[in-house]
Amino acid sequence: MTGGGVRKKSGITKLLVLLLFFASAIVALLVGGNGCCVIVQVAVLPRIIPVSLRGAPPTDSHPSGEIPTTSTGVASSSAHGRQESEAEAASEEEEELPARPYAADNNWDIQWESVARSLSSYSVNDTGSGIVRVGLLNFNSSEVARWRSTLPAADVRAVSLAPAAGDVTWKALYPNWIDEDSNRNNCPSLPDPDPPLREYYDLVAVKLPCRRQGWYRDVRRLHLQLSAAKLALHGSSSSVPKAGTVLILSEPKCLPLPNLFPCKQLLARHAHAWLYRPDAAYLRDRLNLPVGSCQLAVPSLRPQPSPGQPGEAPRSGIGRQAYATVLHSADAYVCGAIALAQSIRQTGSTRDLVALVDAQNVGAEQRAALATAGWQVRPAPRIRNPRAARDAYNEWNYSKFRLWQLTDYDKVVFLDADLLVLRSMDFLFEEALELSATVNSGARFNSGVMVLEPCNCTFELLMAGIHDIDSYNGGDQGYLNEVFPWWHRLPRRANLLKYAWDEGDRAAQARVLGAEPAEVHAVHYLGIKPWLCYRDYDCNWNVAALRRFASDEAHARWWAVHDRIEPAELRDRFCALPEGQVAMLEQHRREATTVNASDGHWNRTITDPRRLIKGHYQH
């Protein structure tokens, strides 16, 4: 008995070794030959007309084209350090991971119990008729077999798709510079299914590779999710608007794109299985976007409404659209927000204006002034960035996440309080989707102007990661770039940063900022804000490290809007110069005089009456 038992165990061992050998060979063939199911193309709009303020890529002195970020809510006395730290942060480009096969990083085990629990929530058109046809993306042969045994009554098909070309990198999808003045920018192409599929899928399931936590920039993950969206629309037309259900399988640390598969369309989630019931029109709109920032998501300059005429008539409900700003840490930006409201109304817009204000840090008198200026003032307790130092510029700028709680609106255009609108931006409500913004540096967007679609579960998603997600610049901009890596490019004219790339650019910048009618939709005032300078000239000239933010033309435009603020008490009371600010401005003038700064602004006679008025408004 003992000898027979040994021989039996030995035979079993040999059998196991043989099985392991053949299993390894099969896996090697699948990985090496891309035997798993992969990808589909995103439709690219040929009608996009890119527009740029620059006729050439960034100069050699700024090879990465980095530009500084901004943050609303701190006094100008710290502007120098804040802008410097943000400029440094903006230059820290993320190192792109090398390309890998679609099957790589995909060898994690599927929890089929989680799949079964998610599918128990499934119901075709709420009729409970079950799953008839299934399309599978990026599953190996044994997983496909398991799907067929799990759904024996369904027609389960493994969709064969070619991977993106090796030169299709994230940098290719999200270049720092494109020629926005022409329509000559081409986005990389992504392969279509082979052969083309014309049938409707009740369920599309996709297994995503996962290399790093979060929503990181990976062409494979983007391509697979866009492919799943396109497969979900097969057989759907404008006359029959429907989309198949989508099941995304991914390790829990790697999450689906929140602006392609939004949480409001999530039916169920169990462990690594997310089951979505997409809206067909929603998916179609997203698939009609350029695949990255390699093209503009909307054309640029629009006709300016005639004086006294409203902006273009909206195709959707105007009552469900709003401009919004956020004030969370000090009274110093109240003047800017008042001017911003005035500038929006001067373009003819009649959209709602909503100001999210932390009542504990922005006084009652200031809140009343905002309401008088036209803002609907809503209380919004500020949100602390747990990774920020106490009293740092970025300590409270996660308060911007509360924009997603404005759920009485379908779409919100967020504007930082240090912007000025020069041409109507109402077209963004009709043509731009979440998350649309202008480029900041490389693959990252600037959060000073954003188009977003409020949803409480998106807010909860943002809040859930504040202790785990790294922000490249330590603030809301870096954080939002991690959550929304698939963002859509607005023309720079929608958020023109008041910033000179180099001295040789000043003449072109002056022409653009001084043009009549205005050639940009909005100017973003970096550095010391115009209401905290003398009105006579841009005080950024007096500080060597801030001269790149100086522009006499932009400064004059802001003060032209200021002078039209009504009632006049708003500008006189809330745009006054605090005594401490006057002292700082005088110190900067003396320092510029001492070094005989070449621009000569320090030698101008100051006529601003606020200089002589003892300030009663303090930060």
What is the rounded average pLDDT of the residues 328-357?
95
432 has a pLDDT exceeding 80: yes
> pLDDT tens digits for 156-200?
999 988 899 989 999 999 999 999 887 578 899 988 776 555 678
Amino acid at 579: E
What is the rounded average pLDDT of the residues 381-391?
93
> pLDDT tens digits for 12-30?
444 444 444 444 433 333 3
* Average pLDDT of the chain, as a whole number: 82
Q: Rounded to whole angstroms, how far apart are CA atoms 310 and 499? A: 31
User: Are residues 482 and 442 located together in one domain of the fold?
Assistant: yes
Q: Identify the residue with better confidence: 121 or 523.
A: 523
Q: Is residue 325 part of a domain?
A: yes
> pLDDT tens digits for 442-493?
899 999 999 999 999 999 999 999 998 888 888 999 999 999 999 999 999 9
pLDDT band at 433 (very low <50, low <70, confident <90, very high): very high
pLDDT value for 96: 64
User: Are residues 357 and 399 located together in one domain of the fold?
Assistant: yes
pLDDT value for 56: 36
Which of 287, 308, 331 finishes a domain? 287
Q: Is residue 274 part of a domain?
A: yes
304 has a pLDDT exceeding 70: no
Q: pTM for the whole thing?
A: 0.84
38 has a pLDDT exceeding 80: no
**Cα separations in angstroms, 264 against 221, 261, 278, 316, 459:** 21, 8, 9, 20, 11
Q: Rounded to whole angstroms, how far apart are CA atoms 80 and 523? A: 20
515 has a pLDDT exceeding 70: yes
User: Are residues 235 and 323 located together in one domain of the fold?
Assistant: no
> pLDDT tens digits for 213-254?
656 799 999 999 999 999 998 766 656 678 999 999 998 888
pLDDT value for 36: 33
pLDDT value for 62: 33
Least confidently predicted of 80-84, 204-208, 606-610: 80-84
Cα atoms in the Cβ-side hemisphere of radius 13 Å centred on 163: 22
Q: Is residue 418 part of a domain?
A: yes
> pLDDT tens digits for 404-421?
999 999 999 999 999 999
Which of 266, 287, 308 finishes a domain? 287
**Cα separations in angstroms, 379 against 362, 363, 376, 618:** 10, 12, 10, 22
pLDDT band at 211 (very low <50, low <70, confident <90, very high): confident
**Residue ranges of the alpha helices (H) in 77-134?**
79-90, 112-119
Label residue 123 exposed, middle or buried (CB < 10 Å: 0-12, 13-18, 19+). Answer: middle
pLDDT band at 328 (very low <50, low <70, confident <90, very high): very high
Q: How many domains does the chain have?
A: 2
Contacts of 207 (CB under 8 A, 6+ apart): 106, 110, 137, 138, 139, 143, 249, 250
Q: Identify the residue with better confidence: 581 or 60.
A: 581
End-to-end alpha-carbon separation of the chain, Å? 92
Q: Rounded to whole angstroms, how far apart are CA atoms 355 and 380? A: 9
Q: Is the preceding peptide bond at 262 cis, omega within 30 degrees of 0?
A: no
**Residue ranges of the alpha helices (H) in 33-137?**
79-90, 112-119
pLDDT value for 196: 59
Nearest to 538 by CA among 522, 563, 557, 515: 557
User: Are residues 440 and 325 located together in one domain of the fold?
Assistant: yes
Dihedral over alpha carbons 581, 583, 587, 589 (to 10 degrees):
70
User: Are residues 418 and 486 located together in one domain of the fold?
Assistant: yes
H or E stretch at 342: helix 334-346
Contact 170, 218 (CB under 8 A): yes
Q: Rounded to whole angstroms, how far apart are CA atoms 73 and 62? A: 28
User: Are residues 333 and 472 located together in one domain of the fold?
Assistant: yes
pLDDT band at 82 (very low <50, low <70, confident <90, very high): very low
Q: Rounded to whole angstroms, how far apart are CA atoms 85 and 358? A: 25
CATH assignment at residue 468: 3.90.550.10
119 has a pLDDT exceeding 70: yes
Q: Rounded to whole angstroms, how far apart are CA atoms 260 and 389? A: 34
pLDDT band at 318 (very low <50, low <70, confident <90, very high): confident
pLDDT value for 98: 62
CA angle 416, 459, 266 (to 5 degrees): 135
pLDDT value for 242: 84
534 has a pLDDT exceeding 90: yes
CATH assignment at residue 214: 3.40.50
Nearest to 247 by CA among 276, 278, 288: 276
User: Are residues 120 and 162 located together in one domain of the fold?
Assistant: yes
Q: Rounded to whole angstroms, how far apart are CA atoms 539 and 67? A: 20
Q: Is residue 2 part of a domain?
A: no
Three-state DSSP class for residue 411: strand
Percent of the chain with pLDDT over 90: 64
Q: Is residue 189 part of a domain?
A: yes
**Cα separations in angstroms, 199 against 153, 195, 570:** 17, 12, 62
Given 3-state DSSP classes, what are the helix, strand and coil percentages for the chain, each rounded to the nearest 5? 35, 15, 50
Label residue 63 exposed, middle or buried (CB < 10 Å: 0-12, 13-18, 19+). Answer: exposed
User: Are residues 567 and 480 located together in one domain of the fold?
Assistant: yes
Q: Is residue 453 part of a domain?
A: yes
pLDDT value for 160: 84
Q: Which two tokens stand for residue 387?
A: 């990774």
pLDDT band at 84 (very low <50, low <70, confident <90, very high): very low
83 has a pLDDT exceeding 70: no
41 has a pLDDT exceeding 70: no
User: Are residues 343 and 480 located together in one domain of the fold?
Assistant: yes
Cα atoms in the Cβ-side hemisphere of radius 13 Å centred on 294: 19
Helix axes 552-562, 334-346, angle to 10 degrees: 80
User: Are residues 262 and 324 located together in one domain of the fold?
Assistant: no
Q: Where in the sequence is the domain holding 176, given as residue range(s)?
A: 112-287
35 has a pLDDT exceeding 80: no
323 has a pLDDT exceeding 90: yes
pLDDT value for 129: 54
pLDDT value for 317: 64
Q: Rounded to whole angstroms, how far apart are CA atoms 413 and 425? A: 9
User: Are residues 357 and 260 located together in one domain of the fold?
Assistant: no
> DSSP secondary structure string, 352-406?
EEEEEE-TTTS-HHHHHHHHHHT-EEEE---B--TTSPTT-TTSSBGGGGGGGG-
Q: Rounded to whole angstroms, how far apart are CA atoms 395 and 385? A: 5
Contact 205, 119 (CB under 8 A): no
User: Are residues 324 and 204 located together in one domain of the fold?
Assistant: no
Q: Which two tokens stand for residue 46?
A: 């040929």
Q: Is residue 51 part of a domain?
A: no
Q: Is residue 92 part of a domain?
A: no
